Structure 1
């Protein structure tokens, strides 16, 4: 399996989540999917309760890190206090903040800044909001793969490993190392109190293709080993972050060294410099060969600490708009099974879980799920981490209770009949009755889900009716999204999900 497949593998493996079958869309709250967007029951009053952490719970859920991906749909700064308060109440203790082009880089790096990049004052405000809610900010800076936001610029094209590919930086050019040092140093200066940093280092798809790397491979130090080349670069960056920038913990995604033997990892002293974050987003990460054979045995010989990384949004297709709650919950539950399967090697080493929420698969491609669409899943996963013995129905019930959902209605989501077909709302749609940051956006996305279903079963004579419904929805998105997002995100989301989704006349099943 290629490393890229870890983002979306297993989309069809969600029939069983916690060892029992998921039946339809049975949930606990009834609502009308036409009217929920304007429901007065869903005010902006947020839950004040807190999910209490069980000190005797599984150690893999000890540290809980929430990932916020800013390379797509970055929130406005005013949204952070509400968001961070909510995240803290869910029991998370840190935020993995992937700035990419939203960071206020300066000097020669100022070209990296997006149109609506945060200012230095904005970053201070974000950090203040995190501190208020006792959340550590762990900045994430890509330093090997996924460097499109840097290498797309003329000033840095010559540092690409492959001239026509902007994803991977050449690790064998001293100018690459100087650039990475500059990136990390500027981020460090803006985060003087952060104890940890994440250096990315995943999915470098083009390694040892460039003449500079080929020449380096021909030296006695590497002796032709691409594995040594990869590990040497990751270790160099991690050592700089730890020794020069004084971060206590340095994290890195693990996929570039998941098959590398113990002697190479030990020779590079990787265990002294970084903590691997073992990631994969399949519905069942215990499936045969999903992780490389022998990986956990090798890691147990090298690394005293590790983290797992699951997902709450953004891993079910590069252009997916609607969250696949059952798949993401299944993914999280499978990590607990994975830990138990390899407990002799992992006990005392895996100390926490990162829940990732991707906004794009990589820089420059379309958006996937927006943050408000994924927050109900994050709630369900937080509840599961606190009590893995709950049934799926029990998790949903506690989630609806935690979010102050309407207590006057307890039944099932109402199906909708259109053109002789029956639309059964998604199980997660019940959270449209709830109060959480961005709940009004969540309700609009459920209306979009229904509209797209209608367009797939409509006949030609129903096109005017659906066009009018689409126009109303577009106006509602245009009025609501700016409360959370900058204009470029608003325009991109509407163009991608409303304007470009033309109705069809042939039912799709």
Structure 2
């Protein structure tokens, strides 16, 4: 392994709020992560954690059991991957606040994303979540407490009243809750350092951030997933955080899940470029300022959004990004090494236009003789049935075979609800459109008058 990387820690993010992998699949990919250059995992459990007691209702249908979490940690150790658990404690609390029993703890009553920091019960809730997670992760050095994208903070009725007092501000509201959560981690779980996403800290005035005491409690994770990352801006931000008192910081890139809420395949070159720019940031700042980098792999943008790229299709991008970090860039020899390692001819998978779309929108017989107008009125020239039906039936047969193969492959990695969701979003709409075309075609053909002895009846007198 090359020592040219400035990032000592390279954590692969597992976002379990969408299509969480089976433990058996993780047993296969953990050694792969290690071989590619990872030495840690950031596990964002969300509703996959086996919460107990009054928190048990947070569990998803296929949530991991305590023994499965223990097995995941064992598998991680075998592959020399240090685990950092992540629990949201402020924003992105939909998986908690969607439940009626906790709805009264919302910052804005109608929105389940942000916790009301004024309620004492809010802090009690996140403390209980933290304690249960750390009970199963006793040897961890870090706990990520989220705190990103705290939307609508300050817009709740209690906050509006609180903000009317001259000494109060949105920044103070944010920092006070962050301080309370981090203090609980440090006092109740000595040796565990809280990490936080940095977006809520970026625009807080330097003196206010410094005076809050937060820089002595947490390590911020500077995240930017863009292929146009502003290197100089990041270096400036690191300097600001240092002057505020933050001793250690982290970076966060992305290998998938950051270029579109419904993206199905990761644009590999985009993610490689993102990592190359992060290498420039790390190489330009003070040595050892950044403890490591988290390669995020978002599976949903939030608890209610659709699935984006599944983990298996993100592996080529992850491989390229990890190797970029290990070798200090993605030169041609690194690209060839990754392609050989994965056994592929190219890292970039082409997202071709659906064959069903091609038939329905580009086939000249369909667009010219069986348009939506014709389909609604069940009109079709009999000869066009011979042009359209065989191709449509053949295509449907190929799709049905593909569906069986996809389901078999997905069952190796995911639970039934994730498979059902992905198929409904990405496969069934195409097969249903094809089936509807064939049904309309059959009904239209059945309504045509039978041929006469002199040929097709045109409806005109001889």
After TM superposition, the score normalised by the length of structure 2 is 0.83
Measured against aligned partners, the alpha-carbon deviations of 1:198-230 in whole angstroms (never above 9, x if no partner) come to 00100111101112223433557xx12111111
Q: Which residue of 2 aligns with 1:338?
A: 281
Match among 257, 272, 290 for residue 201 of structure 2: 257
Measured against aligned partners, the alpha-carbon deviations of 1:232-277 in whole angstroms (never above 9, x if no partner) come to 1112111211221224321110000111122222222112111100
Measured against aligned partners, the alpha-carbon deviations of 1:14-57 in whole angstroms (never above 9, x if no partner) come to xxxxxxxxxxxxxxxxxxxxxxxxxxxxxxxxxxxxxx1x23x2
Q: Which residue of 2 aligns with 1:305?
A: 248
Any idea what SS the aligned residue of 1:500 has? helix
* 1:295 equivalent in alignment to 2:240: no
Match among 150, 161, 168 for residue 96 of structure 2: 150
* 1:491 equivalent in alignment to 2:420: yes
* 1:353 equivalent in alignment to 2:297: no
The whole-number CA distance in structure 2 between the counterparts of 1:227 and 1:338 is: 27
Q: Which residue of 1 aligns with 2:310?
A: 370
The whole-number CA distance in structure 2 between the counterparts of 1:83 and 1:142 is: 25
Decide whether the 8 Å contact of 1:451 with 1:470 is kept in 2: no
The whole-number CA distance in structure 1 between the counterparts of 2:142 and 2:231 is: 32
The whole-number CA distance in structure 1 between the counterparts of 2:262 and 2:247 is: 37
The whole-number CA distance in structure 2 between the counterparts of 1:282 and 1:263 is: 29
Q: Which residue of 2 aligns with 1:235?
A: 179
Match among 383, 408, 428 for residue 348 of structure 2: 428
Measured against aligned partners, the alpha-carbon deviations of 1:294-353 in whole angstroms (never above 9, x if no partner) come to 533311212111111001111110011111101111111111223445x2xx43311211
Q: CA separation of 1:336/1:485 partners in 2, compared to 1, >3 Å: closer, same or farther? A: same
The whole-number CA distance in structure 1 between the counterparts of 2:15 and 2:427 is: 23
Decide whether the 8 Å contact of 1:97 with 1:137 is kept in 2: yes
* 1:480 equivalent in alignment to 2:409: yes
CA RMSD in angstroms, aligned pairs only: 2.2
* 1:386 equivalent in alignment to 2:326: yes
Is the radius of gyration larger for structure 1 or structure 2? Answer: 2
Any idea what SS the aligned residue of 1:365 has? coil
Match among 142, 147, 158 for residue 196 of structure 1: 142
The whole-number CA distance in structure 2 between the counterparts of 1:75 and 1:478 is: 14
Measured against aligned partners, the alpha-carbon deviations of 1:89-131 in whole angstroms (never above 9, x if no partner) come to 2221211000000000011111100000111111111111112
Aligned length: 405
The whole-number CA distance in structure 1 between the counterparts of 2:190 and 2:417 is: 36
After TM superposition, the score normalised by the length of structure 1 is 0.75
Any idea what SS the aligned residue of 1:168 has? coil
Q: Which residue of 2 aligns with 1:268?
A: 212
The whole-number CA distance in structure 1 between the counterparts of 2:260 and 2:186 is: 35
Q: CA separation of 1:464/1:455 partners in 2, compared to 1, >3 Å: closer, same or farther? A: farther
Q: Which residue of 2 aligns with 1:452?
A: 354
Any idea what SS the aligned residue of 1:337 has? helix
Decide whether the 8 Å contact of 1:329 with 1:381 is kept in 2: yes
Residue 58 of structure 1 deviates from its aligned partner by: 3.6
The whole-number CA distance in structure 2 between the counterparts of 1:501 and 1:493 is: 13
Decide whether the 8 Å contact of 1:286 with 1:335 is kept in 2: no
The whole-number CA distance in structure 1 between the counterparts of 2:298 and 2:403 is: 24
Worse-superposed segment, 223-232 or 152-161: 223-232
Residue 287 of structure 1 deviates from its aligned partner by: 7.1
Q: Which has the higher helix share?
A: 2
The whole-number CA distance in structure 1 between the counterparts of 2:210 and 2:131 is: 27
Q: Which residue of 2 aligns with 1:401?
A: 340
Decide whether the 8 Å contact of 1:173 with 1:212 is kept in 2: no
Any idea what SS the aligned residue of 2:260 has? coil
Any idea what SS the aligned residue of 2:107 has? strand
Q: Which has the higher contact order (CA 8 A, sep 6+)?
A: 1
The whole-number CA distance in structure 1 between the counterparts of 2:215 and 2:201 is: 12
Decide whether the 8 Å contact of 1:259 with 1:295 is kept in 2: no
